[in-house]
């Protein structure tokens, strides 16, 4: 039987020199949830994402995805296990087309392997067709269908966020970590991103979202977890969390 918990992090820690950017963070995310992760700048949110997605080797702790231990596993293995992430600042290859950028699946492409190309050219061609169809499908889904042959440099900041979403969806992930999907996005595009996330969630994709836009957090995220100074301060539903004096203090402390 599958457990209801899709992701379980236990005492995840990441130290840079003597500084614990992530300091003993434990939480779990239920299958089908859209969790939110908020907190002032420097709280350790992106570093936690990097530990979950395999971009950084945690100093300590455990991360279970569907019961499988992925802490410290290379990004390719985490990705293959069904966890995909987007970047706080997307950097598409500017001269490649929008479609080509989305077709650059991060790992596991048969075509990347010289021997596969040589020994199994048919399989490589079939996979490329499959990736291309999937890329076109997801680009259409995020509303970039008309721009697929344009160089990525023409995209606005918000459109780059949508390209990121299409890029990760090509791999059919079970869990997507979004790092500030609303940052630098105009209100109309933001509504579109919110709609897309909801639609994907209805199709069974779970999310964990770092976001400063509280409208997006209120609309989409439950539970909302708050980090400050590397630690998980509290978690709960958005309205309760945002009223909590400890959260207000964490943000004011940041501004001071």
Ligand X SMILES: Nc1ncnc2c1ncn2[C@@H]1O[C@H](COP(=O)(O)OP(=O)(O)O)[C@@H](O)[C@H]1O
Angle, helices 157-169/187-202, rounded to nearest 10 degrees: 10
Between 46 and 206, CB nearer to Mg ion: 46
Q: Of 89 and 125, which has the nearer Cβ to ligand X? A: 89
CB of 98 to Mg ion, least distance (A): 25
What ranges make up the beta strands (E) of the chain?
5-16, 19-30, 34-38, 60-65, 68-69, 83-85, 175-179, 206-210, 224-228, 231-236
Selection from ligand X, Mg ion, none that 60 binds (CB < 5 to 8 A by kind) is none
Residue with token string 């008309």 = 146
Distance CA 27, CA 10 (A): 7
Identity of the residue, 50 or 101, whose beta carbon is nearer to ligand X in the bound complex: 50
42 binds, among ligand X, Mg ion, none (CB under 5 to 8 A by kind): ligand X
Residues that bind Mg ion (CB under 5 A): 46
Give me the least distance between CB of 225 and Mg ion, in Å please: 14
What residue ranges bind ligand X (CB under 6 A)? 16, 21, 39, 41-47
Nearer to ligand X, 42 or 236 (CB): 42
3-state secondary structure of 225: strand
Q: C-beta of 93: minimal distance to ligand X in Å?
A: 23
Closest alpha carbon to 32 in 224, 160, 207: 207
């Amino acid at each position: 039987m599958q457990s209801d918990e899709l992701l379980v992090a236990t005492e995840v820690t990441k130290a840079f020199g003597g500084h614990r950017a992530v300091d003993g963070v434990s939480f779990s995310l239920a299958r089908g949830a859209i969790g939110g992760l908020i907190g002032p700048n420097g709280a350790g949110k992106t570093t936690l994402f990097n530990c979950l997605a395999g971009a950084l080797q945690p100093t300590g702790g455990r991360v279970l995805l569907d019961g499988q231990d992925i802490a410290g596993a290379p990004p390719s293995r985490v990705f293959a296990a069904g966890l995909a992430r987007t970047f706080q600042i997307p950097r598409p290859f500017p001269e490649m087309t929008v479609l080509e950028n989305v077709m650059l699946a991060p790992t596991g492409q048969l075509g990347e392997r010289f021997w596969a190309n040589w020994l199994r050219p048919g399989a490589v061609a079939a996979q490329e067709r499959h990736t291309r169809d999937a890329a076109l499908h997801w680009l259409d889904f995020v509303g970039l269908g008309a721009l697929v042959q344009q160089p990525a440099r023409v995209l606005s900041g918000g459109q780059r966020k949508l390209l990121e979403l299409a890029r990760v969806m090509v791999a059919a992930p079970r869990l997507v970590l979004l790092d500030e999907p609303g940052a630098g996005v105009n209100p109309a595009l933001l509504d579109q991103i919110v709609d897309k996330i909801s639609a994907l969630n209805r199709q069974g994709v779970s999310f964990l979202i770092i976001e400063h836009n509280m409208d997006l957090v209120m609309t989409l995220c439950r539970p909302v977890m708050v980090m400050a100074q590397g630690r998980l301060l509290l978690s709960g539903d958005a309205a309760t969390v945002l009223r909590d004096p400890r959260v207000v203090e964490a943000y004011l402390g940041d501004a001071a």
